[in-house]
Structure 1
């Protein structure tokens, strides 16, 4: 019998067994190469921040007490006061500043009567009124949007006294658009309703007593009992202890104000009294100026003159500030939290980690494409993290807005090319 040749297939089976591992290894290599390319594209040997302009201030928060040259208006009448003059408005001797009603209902009736008369005058002016036809609707719409924004802002900030004025402005803007785009407005029905209401109110119209200014000055419709707490002429003689007592409530207001129907402020100048840390006061000088923000109110910040800095005691001192602006928001200030802004600095914000000193010149490295450049800085303000840097007039070689400032990197020098 002849020998038969036997063929074994075990080797091929072993090769097939390892193929999945080979494919997996190949896939891992491909993924690795891809990840490396992504890393290489996104990798930067330095970390940068963009130079942007910023304004910062050196300030302190404290409490303040306001002193004015105030004279309460005495009247032999009691009841509900309705001002005829806006707070903070200048009046002459003998001007009618308010009316007093014997009840709140009579006062409400008076206010509504006044409003109805104004509405009648407004709608009467619309009769037979035709606007100029225009295709510039966008301008008219912008007036409406602006008036609407002003009304919403007054509501959000609680400016109750401005509601009526803002509402009227919005109404006028809407009416102007209607007339200018061909809309015919017939106020007949509205006028009929208003005249009917006017007749009803006039039937219930009660008597009132007029309050007149007994000397010229700024009229303020409210009294708080502090009108005579401080002698206006002696305000510069107040010590830190006395100012502290006014601010913290130790000095109590006059409890009986029933005979006063508002007050008049005679002098133009009024004073803001504050107590602050003596270290903060060290940056002030008599004759200098300081910005005061009345936090928690809608009063605009104002610039005040520093007229007195008292001697420090127990690490604290008092300062007396003078200003002469007056409006209805300043008129009602008395005891308020304030923010005193000593200095304001504007420049480019630079991370302190980026600051270098080369040959006695402070500066930073910036990235221009892939080239490192050294640029000078002029630090005007600095804290623990950032500095504010200005550019001296007529100088070159300083940082500018949108420069890429290098805040992290190694072996940096001017002219270095980054891979």
Structure 2
């Protein structure tokens, strides 16, 4: 066989192998195995992220004093006008001694309850155990949230329930507590003789929330005009460097129990607030709490298209009291329903049957029906879905249909909880057999 025939035969063989490879790839692309996900019920939130600036009606307390200042109330605590918020002592030793006396007074009050005759033995020991675990859980929770100001009082609560269990189980008696009270009274008397009394006190100039720190941003915006704030003003506030505080102050009072958070949203996102009045706010770097809020103003800049949104809040704690310029997650809407991956949504023509006035069947075709393919046994079934919203890649589908939606249904049923929904696959059609 000459070389020319060999070259021709090799070329033909190479062409044949190439055709087989191409055909195999085409087959794979058209017969790719399906991938399904189980339809589950869930709740998702339509969330926007922005920088927020907190505005409060703040009154700085600038009382001058000589001595050592100790606070009586924690940040975020409601105080009444004229209520004592801090005491002043002549020295650190006096302040420390008074702090210990206060703790002794609280312990004595707890022990006096335990020492009084009562039917403690009729108490439910399992209930006491639940109270112990609850007290420990609260301490862990506050520690994780870096809220160490509450640890002392929570520790005292834990000690009280532990003492109560000792009494119930008979490991201690009321006489033991009477002896402990006597020893504490003697310790208190010695401390009182050695420690000096307060030389002055600082009171709240108005009712409101107390905050022990200042940042220099107090009253940069008149709260009475907060609803007219513009996007430019909000951006100017957000662009300022964090304040250093007022060295001569001892704190401030937020005299209005309501406070405000202002953010700027672009034109492409502001539509999400249409007809929205109630939202919730998450400030991840400042607080673990979800804060309910009301949208009280939306002011648009016609030149830039940006809108300043004003949220009114009333919830307050020690963490939120320190919020000023933080990243905020705004939960605009919350939706509940059967969650289906957006990848599963398909549009298909559906042939269905109606009956005329004489009861005769009439076949009709509904075009571009939105639905999904579900695996029903060993074949696929196309079911129509009704969904108003897609959030975070999931369509929220209804399982309970209104009368109008029921009339528009052209498949035998709509999607149901725990259906195996096809999210990947090719050449899908109603009744297709699957392995």
Normalised by the length of structure 1, the TM-score is: 0.77
Q: How far apart in 1 are the matches of 2:118 and 2:267?
A: 67
Residues 111, 286 of structure 1: alpha-carbon distance in 2 compared, 3 angstrom cutoff: farther
**Cα pair 2:229 2:299 within 8 Å, conserved:** no
- Find 2:382's aligned residue among 351, 369, 374: 374
Structure 2 counterpart SS, 1:153: helix
**5 Å matches for 1:169-180?**
169-180=157-168
Match of 1:111 in 2: 99
**Cα pair 1:64 1:338 within 8 Å, conserved:** yes
Match of 1:154 in 2: 142
**Cα pair 2:214 2:245 within 8 Å, conserved:** no
- Find 1:239's aligned residue among 227, 230, 235: 230
**5 Å matches for 1:265-414?**
265-285=254-274, 288-298=277-287, 299-311=289-301, 316-358=306-348, 359=366, 360-382=368-390, 385-394=393-402, 397-409=413-425, 412-414=428-430
Per the TM alignment, residue 286 of structure 1 is displaced from its structure 2 partner at its CA by 8.1
Match of 2:354 in 1: none
CA RMSD of aligned residues (A): 3.2
Per the TM alignment, residue 166 of structure 1 is displaced from its structure 2 partner at its CA by 2.3
Aligned length: 374
Structure 2 counterpart SS, 1:121: helix
Match of 2:410 in 1: none
Residues 364, 287 of structure 1: alpha-carbon distance in 2 compared, 3 angstrom cutoff: closer
In structure 2, the gaps of 5 or more residues are: 1-31, 349-365, 407-412
Match of 2:211 in 1: 220
CA deviation profile, 1:204-258 (whole Å, cap 9, x unmatched): 23433112233333333333322232222233343333322322225x7475441
CA deviation profile, 1:275-316 (whole Å, cap 9, x unmatched): 333322232258733321122123432222241323165564
Per the TM alignment, residue 158 of structure 1 is displaced from its structure 2 partner at its CA by 0.9
Normalised by the length of structure 2, the TM-score is: 0.74
Residues 316, 80 of structure 1: alpha-carbon distance in 2 compared, 3 angstrom cutoff: farther
Q: How far apart in 1 are the matches of 2:102 and 2:281?
A: 38
Residues 367, 182 of structure 1: alpha-carbon distance in 2 compared, 3 angstrom cutoff: farther
**5 Å matches for 1:67-78?**
67-78=55-66
Q: How far apart in 1 are the matches of 2:230 and 2:392?
A: 36
Match of 1:99 in 2: 87
In structure 1, the gaps of 5 or more residues are: 1-43
Residues 410, 60 of structure 1: alpha-carbon distance in 2 compared, 3 angstrom cutoff: closer
Residues 410, 330 of structure 1: alpha-carbon distance in 2 compared, 3 angstrom cutoff: closer
Match of 2:188 in 1: 198
Q: How far apart in 2 are the matches of 1:410 and 1:223?
A: 62
Q: How far apart in 1 are the matches of 2:347 and 2:275?
A: 37
Structure possessing the higher radius of gyration over alpha carbons: 1
Per the TM alignment, residue 71 of structure 1 is displaced from its structure 2 partner at its CA by 1.6
CA deviation profile, 1:393-413 (whole Å, cap 9, x unmatched): 457722222221133455554
Q: How far apart in 1 are the matches of 2:235 and 2:91?
A: 40
